[in-house]
Structure 1
Amino acid sequence: MADTHSPTTGVLEGFFGRSWSWEQRLRLAAFMHKEDFDFYLYAPKSDAHLRNRWRQDWPADQWQALKNLRHTYHSAGIAFGLGLSPLDLCTPEGKADTKAFKEKITRINQLEPDWLGLFFDDMRGDIPDLAARQAELSHFATTHSSAQRIILCPTYYSTDPVLDKVFGARPSNYLPQLGRELDPAIQVFWSGPQVCSATYPLEHLQEITHLLQRKPFLWDNYPVNDGAVKSQHLYLSPPEASRFENQQHIEGIAANPMNQFALSLPALAGLAQGIKCRAPATIDTLLKKLFSQPLAELLRQDAPFFANHGLNELDENERQRLLQRYRPHLEKEEAAREVTDWLNGGYTFDPACLTE
């Protein structure tokens, strides 16, 4: 059984660019059950019906796929949720449009989600009364949603100045006002000192807890690789143990994975072991656990280069050499096909990702 004192741990599919397939999402449920994860949040940036076309209903085939997804995660004992981004409702013009918001929540209720995320990231933040409006929308969602848990991602979800550069200067007292006005039962995502934080220092977590008047729920951007720089890399290693040494000071942690499904599994399994068992796993152990022995050995050898150097430092001869190394495994190994596709430029950076 999981350590009941461990923070709630899950996977948040929240990246830009090339999405996972529905079949991969279904397979993730069995993996998460085996690794003792607690929740999965469906929030790919490619699903426009959660973002810029959130007022529109999903097409019938996508709706059926979502129903299948919810059923599969419930059957696996994993809490299921969605991340909704009604960004334009934060503007002065959007204040009158609560009918569409209620209709969307009512539609999502038909999926019987355990969690509902309200994601206000990736939007302009220089909006009058931003914190008050986001708290108001969160309370409206709480009233109308059947989800047991509501979790908000603020517009400024890190102290990283890149957010101010891209989305406008954050309003003064944004976090204290949000913490003060937001119902204590609503949790708040936080990515740490940076959008992609290497560690979560104790002093930082204590400061954010004070500002938000609740422990932060970490949106952990590892091993995600959807940014202009990170898309040139693959991250196979488990998270460093130091990342989560202050886990008693967080409410939970949601790992944002890579665009490559199979290649994300070692880092995710390493996170689960580090949090639940409080014992860091080695990359060698994880690769052997998840892949065939020959492929695991190749990935172990190449993982440092993939993480630290990547595509930008590959000349054509080296790229061809790597393609040859993985070619014998293409037929049977999904991870080998992902490496090859990445080497061939199949995971092109999505310029909609602005925060790297």
Structure 2
Amino acid sequence: MYKNHSTSCGIIEGFFGRTWSWEDRKNYAQFLAQHQYDFYIYAPKSDKNLRREWQTDWPEETKVHLRELREVYRDQQISFGIGLSPHEIYLDNSHDQRNQLVTRIKEINQLEPDILCILFDDMRGDIPHLAQIQIDIAHQAADASTAKKIIFCPTYYSFDPVLEKVFGQMPEHYWQSFSRHLDKSIDMFWTGEKVCSSNYPTSHLDTVAELLGRKPFLWDNYPVNDSAVKSNLLQLRAFDQSHRLLNGKLAGHAVNPMNQPWLSQLPLASLPLAYENPHTYNPTLAFTQITTTLCGEKLAQQLEQDLHLLQDQGLKKLTDNEKIELRARYQQFTNNHYAQEIIDWLDGKYEFDPACLTD
């Protein structure tokens, strides 16, 4: 199908908690290609070799999986990315640390990623001259990388006050420093007015573009459900109607999916519809259309009936009887990935990871 919009859309596997399997990740290549997505970025918070132990290369078994994953996405003409979080490297801004960064990026280069992300989210930020230190690190990473695109995530990636509450007071003129000194070829992630924003007013995106000196690369935290509150929810509804107005306002659009890979497909399939049909996109109709196509008519009808319980009421507020009834309803759909993820969720197999500090 011909793509009639200019915004590059993809997913970033960037959540806490239960991770996707390697098979799930491979399956997504075909799903993304079928729904006109352009990229996939591997950045699970559970991969210690991308975060807490970022200086250490992956074990060979993991590298084999990553090379296979890269080839699967390459075969589907989907760009493959890696997200590196050099955890609090700026607390020890020494020559040795910088050498380790270059060494690690050269190891990542062996996977031949199309995209390299340098991610400073979920880290302490009340550090003098933080922006300039991070800019220097981003430039050094970009110089060492063979990736075609570099995307940088600042520590403060939203106007949401929760970031300063959790990670410390943002240094003065933090964002303005990126506008003045970060290479314009490097994109910057932004999550909107909130860490988890439901919509993105064009006036807000224009303000951010002026502040950062470039269009924001949207890190869309819907439908991700790894936080203390949202881990109790299955976020299945189609993307908000405001998404139809985003074309031309962004450097790119990366969606952070749920811990449930199959159920994530339901909202994910709606985003391209919003971009493709800006004048007619209707989230309610999109949900019905997508669930019927992906799940079949009977399961789609059941999901529509239970949507309030699954997405609004949530696991902690369900009574024991409601859980039993829901489980019985979805057990009828044998060997069905979507139904099985609902059953697993009801059975508490997607526990909240307290390492996730924002909601």
Distance 1:267 1:5 in 2: 19
- Cα root mean square deviation, aligned: 1.3
Give, as a single letter, the amino acid of the residue that structure 2 aligns with 1:211.
L
CA shift, 1:88, in A, is 2.4
Q: Deviations over 1:27-69 (max 9, x none)?
A: 0000001011011100010111100011111111111000000
Q: Any idea what SS the aligned residue of 2:63 has?
A: helix
* TM-score (normalizing by structure 1): 0.97
CA shift, 1:198, in A, is 1.5
Give, as a single letter, the amino acid of the residue that structure 1 aligns with 2:338.
A
Please tell me whether the aligned partners of residues 200 and 244 of structure 1 are also in contact (alpha carbons under 8 angstroms). Answer: no
* TM-score (normalizing by structure 2): 0.96
Q: Which runs of 5+ in 2 are unaligned?
A: none
Q: Any idea what SS the aligned residue of 1:198 has?
A: coil
CA shift, 1:3, in A, is 3.3
Q: Which residue of 1 aligns with 2:347?
A: 344
Q: Which residue of 1 aligns with 2:250?
A: 250
Give, as a single letter, the amino acid of the residue that structure 1 aligns with 2:153.
C
Distance 1:249 1:271 in 2: 15
Please tell me whether the aligned partners of residues 6 and 276 of structure 1 are also in contact (alpha carbons under 8 angstroms). Answer: no
Distance 1:103 1:296 in 2: 49
Q: Deviations over 1:248-295 (max 9, x none)?
A: 211111010000010000100001221244353521110011113222
Which segments of structure 1 move beyond 6 Å, counting only runs of 4 or more? none
Q: Are 2:288 and 1:284 aligned?
A: yes
Instruction: Say if 1:57 and 1:210 are closer, same or farther in 2 by CA, change over 3 A.
Output: same
Please tell me whether the aligned partners of residues 17 and 347 of structure 1 are also in contact (alpha carbons under 8 angstroms). Answer: yes
* Aligned ranges 1:79-158 → 2 under 5 Å: 79-94=79-94, 96-158=96-158
Q: Which residue of 2 aligns with 1:204?
A: 204
Give, as a single letter, the amino acid of the residue that structure 2 aligns with 1:143.
D
Distance 1:91 1:209 in 2: 29
Distance 2:16 2:277 in 1: 31
Q: Any idea what SS the aligned residue of 1:87 has?
A: coil
Q: Are 2:63 and 1:59 aligned?
A: no
Q: Any idea what SS the aligned residue of 1:335 has?
A: helix
Q: Are 2:185 and 1:185 aligned?
A: yes
Instruction: Say if 1:285 and 1:297 are closer, same or farther in 2 by CA, change over 3 A.
Output: same
Q: Which runs of 5+ in 1 are unaligned?
A: none
Please tell me whether the aligned partners of residues 243 and 274 of structure 2 are also in contact (alpha carbons under 8 angstroms). Answer: no
Distance 1:140 1:317 in 2: 57
Please tell me whether the aligned partners of residues 2 and 276 of structure 1 are also in contact (alpha carbons under 8 angstroms). Answer: no
CA shift, 1:2, in A, is 4.1
Distance 2:4 2:186 in 1: 21
Please tell me whether the aligned partners of residues 80 and 115 of structure 1 are also in contact (alpha carbons under 8 angstroms). Answer: yes
Query: Matched residue pairs, number?
Result: 355
Distance 2:57 2:276 in 1: 38
Q: Any idea what SS the aligned residue of 1:83 has?
A: strand
Q: Are 2:358 and 1:355 aligned?
A: yes
Q: Which residue of 1 aligns with 2:18?
A: 18
Instruction: Say if 1:150 and 1:309 are closer, same or farther in 2 by CA, change over 3 A.
Output: same
Give, as a single letter, the amino acid of the residue that structure 1 aligns with 2:324.
Q
Q: Which residue of 2 aligns with 1:233?
A: 233
Instruction: Say if 1:17 and 1:25 are closer, same or farther in 2 by CA, change over 3 A.
Output: same
Q: Which of 331, 335, 341 in structure 2 is aligned with 1:327? A: 331
Q: Which residue of 1 aligns with 2:318?
A: 314
Distance 2:220 2:63 in 1: 28
Q: Which residue of 1 aligns with 2:194?
A: 194
Q: Are 2:43 and 1:43 aligned?
A: yes
Distance 1:305 1:183 in 2: 47
